[in-house]
Amino acid sequence: MELVALKVQIGLNGSNHVYPNFDKIASAKRGNLKWVNYIDQFGGWLYDNCCGFNETDDDSPDEGVKIGVFLVPQAFAAEAVELFPERVTVIDEAALEHFYDNRAMIRVPDEKIVSEIVNGLRAKYGQPTGPLDTSVMTVEEQEMMDPESLRPGIVRNKKRRFADVKKARNLAVKTLD
């Protein structure tokens, strides 16, 4: 699926978030849906989890603004940039990957840990803390401790990194023609 990544400046008015009114985009370009429902079809919003409205840094330099990113088809993206040029910009795949991995998903762990399994192995092998010594474990138990294995225990979180999401969703990130 070919999609365009839009970086959006979200404002704040009191305690209300102020989004561009993407319903101004031609109805046909948003599948005759409200814009919020339309973008959810393509993965929805990714929000900056490093900088809020009252913080700034190099990636989010304006106080009172939070950055959000979403993916949409090219026709929607082109009109969004045309209607809201000061608040909506297209970002390329490298910028999207940086935002996804280092801003939006920064607080998401790289691995999912099934604590019942890991704690059971700790108890079985008398290793209450620290890294588990897998050399004394059965092959099945070693697989449980391998994040790349499909066995439950410690499993790599395939939603943590953009490269994994891109592959799973068969995404191609495009810019505007």
Strands 65-72 and 2-13: antiparallel
User: Is the model more confident about 151 or about 59?
Assistant: 151
Neighbours of 132 (CB within 10 A): 19
Residue type for position 95: A
φ, ψ for residue 35, nearest 5 deg: -60, -35
pLDDT digits (tens, 9 = 90+) for 123-175: 999 989 888 899 999 999 999 999 888 889 998 898 999 999 999 999 999 99
pLDDT digits (tens, 9 = 90+) for 90-125: 999 999 999 999 999 999 999 999 999 999 999 999
Neighbours of 153 (CB within 10 A): 24
**Helix (H) / strand (E) containing 89:** strand 88-91
Q: What is the mean pLDDT of the chain?
A: 92
Q: Residue ranges of the alpha helices (H) in 100-169?
A: 115-125, 139-144, 162-169
Report the predicted TM-score, pTM, of the whole model to 2 decimal places: 0.83
pLDDT exceeds 90 at position 83: yes
